[in-house]
Amino acid sequence: MKQIYFTIFSLFIVNTLLGQTHDHSYGETITNQVSSNFFFDFNDISECQQSASLEVTVTGNFFNSAGGNSLSKFDVLIDGNTVMSGIVLGAANTAGNHSYDLSSSMPFESVRVNQYYGDLGASIVNITYDVELIIESPTASMPTSGPTTSNVNYTQGDTAIPLIATLSGRGSRLKWYTSETGGLPSNTAPTPDTSTIGTTSYWVSQADANDCESVRSEIQVITEILLGINDFDSNKTYSLYPNPSSRFIGISGLTQDISYRIYDSLGRRVKNGTLSPDVTISITNLTNGLYFLQLENRNTLRFIKE
């Protein structure tokens, strides 16, 4: 009897795993005049396809006093073949969200959405098309995980190099994104911009030999504040007190209002404002650690929150 229960339980687990799916989302947004005839191309999509849908969200003013209501139309092409033609938006049809099932055309490698002017009303009105292609893939057919990644640290102004990720499992090539969902894949690794302090996230997936795509792995690029050795203690005009501190800090030597920024040890700005002579800055909301207070004249003072 135990063997029977074990067999039934094992079959249940296998069937559960086989039934799991993952949605791959690809998307793009374009704003233009209704007469501009723009298009969306979805290539290099996951070819492990259990279902597929197209989500089209249209916003804008379809009415213009110079020409009345306008019509926007679009066609949908799959692998170069038209599967939907002359879908009308605008005029009597309202802008908004529209969903179309593409599952009957699977499997496919590419989708194109062509928007064009419907030859009615004012052609100068601006509209925004937000188009998302969703491919539902069985997880059993996908690579078991995304590629291996590590976060990257730079100092502000450093010369960056293209991001790096390592294929794992049966992954054979990388696909790069600038968002966790949506967006369009690129075969070229992005090169981070280090001109601005802060953290920027990128994502990368891997495709196997059958072009089944994995989930996306995140890479955080952390750009820290550039602090030269002369930024500390070389200018004795100002001094910070008390240091360490748990509640507040003040600056002696101020004769007028001055703006300031506080950065943590990773270069992230955590507080900013304007400081007046004989007025202190509350640091009660900061976590314990090392911080840098930078004044508008570039003088930088270190302090410890405890």
Q: Which domains does the chain have, with CATH numbers?
A: 20-140 (2.60.120), 142-224 (2.60.40.10), 229-305 (2.60.40.3080)
Report field, pTM of the whole predicted structure over 0.85: no
Query: What backbone phi and psi angles, to 5 degrees, belong to 76?
Result: -120, 125
pLDDT score recorded for residue 298: 65
- 202 compared with 232, residue with greater pLDDT: 202
Closest Cα partner for 213 from 164, 182, 173? Answer: 173
Residue 8 in this model has a pLDDT that exceeds 70: no
CA–CA distance, 137 with 50 (Å, rounded to integer): 5
* Cα(56)–Cα(129) distance, integer angstroms: 7
Stronger pLDDT, 169 or 19, i.e. the higher one: 169
CA distances from 158 to 87, 118, 204 (A): 49, 50, 23
SS3 166: strand
3-state DSSP assignment of residue 266? coil
Mean pLDDT across the chain, nearest whole number?
Answer: 84
pLDDT for residue 26 is more than 80: yes
Q: Which residue has the tokens 């196997």?
A: 208
Residues 206-223: tens digit of each pLDDT: 999 999 999 999 999 988
d(CA 146, CA 3): 36
CA 181 to the chain's CA centroid: 7
User: Which 3 state secondary structure label does DSSP give 7?
Assistant: helix
| Better-scored residue on pLDDT, 294 or 136 | 136
pLDDT digits (tens, 9 = 90+) for 89-142: 655 445 668 899 999 999 999 999 998 876 655 555 678 899 999 999 999 999
| pLDDT score for 12 | 42
Q: How far is CA 112 from CA 30, 38, 153, in A?
A: 14, 11, 38
C-alpha to C-alpha distance for 79 and 42, rounded to whole angstroms: 10
Which own/partner pairs from 168-171 qualify as long-range (CB within 8 Å, at least 24 positions apart)?
168/143, 168/206, 169/143, 169/144, 169/145, 169/206, 170/143, 170/208, 170/209, 171/143, 171/147, 171/206, 171/207, 171/208, 171/214
